[in-house]
Amino acid sequence: MAHLQISDVTLSFGGLKALSHVDMTIEPGLITSIIGPNGAGKTSMLNCISGFYHPTKGEIKYKDKDLSNASPHQVSTMGIARAFQNLELFSGLSVLDNLLLARHQNLTYSFFHAAVFFGKASRVEAENRKFVEDIIDFMELEPYRKNLVGSLSYGIQKKVEVARALTLDPEILLLDEPMAGMNIQEKEDIVRFVMDIQKERSVTVVLVEHDLGVVMDISDRIYVLDFGEVIGSGTPEEVANNPKVIDAYIGED
Amino acid sequence: MSQNRWLATGNFFTSYKQEQRTFFTHLDRTIFTCFLVLLFGWPLVFEISNKYMLVLDNILIAIVAVMGLNLLLGFAGLISIGHAAFVGIGAYTVASVCQVIGENHVIVTHFWPVLIVCAGIMGAIFGAFVGLPALRLKHLYLAIATLSFQMIFEWFIQFMSFFNQGQTIYVGRAHWFTGQVGRSEHYLFWYYIILIIVVVLGFGVRNLLKTKYGRCLVAVRDNDRAADAMGMNPGLTKVYAFALAGFFAGVAGALHAYLYRGVGFDSFTLHHSVAYLAMAIVGGLGTLNGIFWGPVAIKYLDLQVEQFSELAGHYLTYAPNVATALKPLSFGLVIVLFLMYEPRGIANWWRIVKSYTKLWPFRY
């Protein structure tokens, strides 16, 4: 039973087809990677899943629910979280508040409870704070808990970005180039986190990444996009031996 | 928890609930309580003229209004140049009740707390409505949209005979448990009432900012795309921010109506909107204590300039309009200087002073 079924998705902006007839199946519990040259439509695909774009044609189904026309906040409450490629953090808030914001839907007190801040609001805040602390512990962000996110270094901010998506307690985590612009150690760190997220927290991971070495190492399934079309899919070995993929990356001889 | 609850030398929390406290040490709490007692107690000891009492009342009303504006502009990042119009909505809610049932009806004179809350709700409704363009507009364009609301409001009031075409609509004297509040204690009475409202609303804002209802405002300010992905509806949040600002403005308007015992359109013009903006900026956007600094600073400046220009007018008899020229001049100068040299407002000075005294007499 497929977790997330993307069937015949086409996304066009005027005459430009960002995606055409894309079919994908995201199986539960696996790391699925989406790769492709620049402008292949990888981020567009993630935007379609997370609700920032709505596909022109085709449908995206998650557990029999149609995501094609859902807005991002609806998608996030269904259990699909997303980390952005270009840091989209709340830079005026601390790391703690950034993560607490991702608990927005789980903070169930009413406005008047909040204004008085007594009883329920206080209790629910403390409970969610505990959840957030677990994530901070998991992502090893303890030293930066109270720092303003805007003042942190790029590598840490990327980690906060992943942590924030994880705080939504998702079943599917969409990671958009979590390793872009990092050095080898930071990359290794993130790879370790991605694998831990999959194994320990049993989250399905969808990874968009340019570093082919990383992708080949950790992915269970790979989809290769080029000019908005799926040109190859399967296990890393299958993809690596697919002539179309080799053409797209290296060029025809 | 540290053994010494008076002077904590570090962070000794053992539960998340302890970290939610408003006051972390007994010292903080005591100083704050003393400050409140002082605010409530001084009129019993000193007697000041009605003129200065009115200034104090005005400051407190401006604090209530700026509370809303700071939430909107400082925390949610949405510009509103129509804040005085929201204050006007509150005032005219009271005024229209007076028009319909008479200015000395028992509802106006005895149930004024209900009317003040109603005015706040009315402000919130109008706020939410005016906030609708915020779903599509940002920054300067939103400012223009709110400016148009200010214009519509002024035009509407001036052309409706129901609102006396902007001329004063009288509001009856309020009653207290001891009977009608007389002329001599009128300003003192409202000083106490507004002070209580400021304290209650201040704590309300303080609590809201600790919860999701405050955090979501900052989220849409910093990054509304990410806010959307984090499961909050950015559009609704923006409308909510406007409604919140409208509520505070409405309450301020109703208090204004009762304090002056009348409502006229010229207290809610564009000039006042800009003045509220100035108070919010000078106080410090996006800070809680800035809400209180701004109105105090601007109104105090007004008072000083008035006295100075009286003095100047005394010597410069050939230029009798010095007073009228000095006021807008100093006002503009202060805003420009703050924007240039301290865009974070007086709240930043407060922060510096606090961190300095924390370590004093040691340097680090």
Q: Do A125 and B16 touch (CB under 8 A)?
A: yes
Give the span between the Cα atoms of B79 and B63, in whole angstroms. 18
* B229 vs A contacts (CB less than 8 Å): 50, 52, 72-73, 76, 81-82, 84, 88
Mutation target among B20, B208, B212, B237 for the A interface, most CBs of A within 10 A: B212
DSSP string for residues in B141-165: HHHHHHHHHHHHHHHHHHH-GGGGG
Question: Which is nearest to B94 in space by CA: B28, B47, B156, B163?
Answer: B163
- Chain A: residue whose CA lies nearest to B235: A73
Number of Cβ within 10 Å of residue B19's Cβ equals 15
* B223 vs A contacts (CB less than 8 Å): 88-91
Q: What are the structural domains, with CATH classification, of chain A?
A: 1-79+170-253 (3.40.50.300), 89-169 (no CATH)
Question: Which is nearest to A230 in space by CA: B181, B239, A221?
Answer: A221
Q: CB under 8 Å to B20, separation ≥6 — which residues?
A: A117, A122, A125, A126, B210
Give the span between the Cα atoms of A213 and A230, in whole angstroms. 20
Distance of residue A41 Cα from the nearest chain B Cα, in angstroms: 20
- Tell me what pLDDT residue B322 has: 67
| Peptide bond just before B361 cis, omega within 30 deg | yes
- Tell me what pLDDT residue B85 has: 93
Element at B175 (helix H, strand E):
strand B175-176
Report yes or no: A87 at the B interface, CB cutoff 8 Å: no
**Strand, helix or coil at A51?**
coil
Query: Could you give the count of Cα atoms lying within 13 Å of B38 in the half-sphere of its Cβ?
Result: 6
Q: Residue A205 forms beta bridges with which residues?
A: A31, A173
| Number of separate helices (H) and strands (E) present in chain B | 14, 4
Number of Cβ within 10 Å of residue B225's Cβ equals 13
* A125 vs B contacts (CB less than 8 Å): 16, 20, 210-211
Q: Do B230 and A122 touch (CB under 8 A)?
A: no
Tokens of A161: 């970005």
- Tell me what pLDDT residue B359 has: 77
Q: What is the CATH number of domain B50-359?
A: 1.10.3470
- Chain B: residue whose CA lies nearest to A98: B219
- Tell me what pLDDT residue A1 has: 47
Helix axes B346-359, B270-283, angle to 10 degrees: 20
* Global confidence as pTM: 0.89
- Chain B: residue whose CA lies nearest to A77: B231
Could you tell me the CA-to-CA distances from B310 to B53, B313, B316, B326, B327 in Å, in that order?
A: 20, 5, 10, 10, 11
Give the span between the Cα atoms of B184 and B188, in whole angstroms. 8
Q: What is the DSSP letter of A151?
A: G
DSSP string for residues in A203-233: -EEEEE-S-HHHHHHH-SEEEEEETTEEEEE
Q: Which amino acid is at A166?
A: L
- Chain A: residue whose CA lies nearest to B226: A88
Report yes or no: A91 at the B interface, CB cutoff 8 Å: yes
Q: What are residue A25's phi and psi, to 5 degrees?
A: -130, 120
Contact, B284 vs B348, CB < 8 A?
yes
- Tell me what pLDDT residue B3 has: 59
Report yes or no: A93 at the B interface, CB cutoff 8 Å: yes
Q: CB under 8 Å to B339, separation ≥6 — which residues?
A: B281
Report yes or no: A131 at the B interface, CB cutoff 8 Å: no
Q: Mean pLDDT, consecutive 10-residue segments, chain A of 253 residues? A: 79 86 87 87 88 88 85 88 87 89 84 82 87 90 88 89 90 88 87 88 88 87 88 86 82 67
Instruction: Please report, in tens digits, the pLDDT of each residue of chain B (364 residues total).
Output: 455 677 766 677 778 877 777 777 788 889 889 999 998 888 888 888 888 888 999 999 999 999 999 999 999 989 899 899 999 999 999 999 988 888 888 887 888 889 999 999 999 999 999 988 888 888 889 899 999 999 999 998 888 888 877 788 888 788 888 877 777 888 888 999 999 999 999 999 999 988 889 889 999 988 888 888 888 888 999 999 999 999 999 999 999 999 998 888 888 989 899 999 999 999 988 888 899 999 999 999 888 888 888 787 777 766 666 667 777 888 888 889 988 898 888 988 998 888 888 777 777 6
Tokens of B72: 């909107």
Question: Which is nearest to B267 in space by CA: B282, B281, B255, B283?
Answer: B255
Contact, A34 vs A176, CB < 8 A?
no
Tokens of B266: 């010229």
Q: Do B230 and A164 touch (CB under 8 A)?
A: yes
Element at B263 (helix H, strand E):
strand B262-263
First to last CA, chain B: 24
Report the alpha-carbon angle A164-A165-A171, nearest 5: 140
Q: Do A117 and B211 touch (CB under 8 A)?
A: yes
- Tell me what pLDDT residue B320 has: 61
Q: Where are the domains of chain B?
A: 50-359
Q: Do B225 and A52 touch (CB under 8 A)?
A: yes
- Tell me what pLDDT residue B319 has: 64
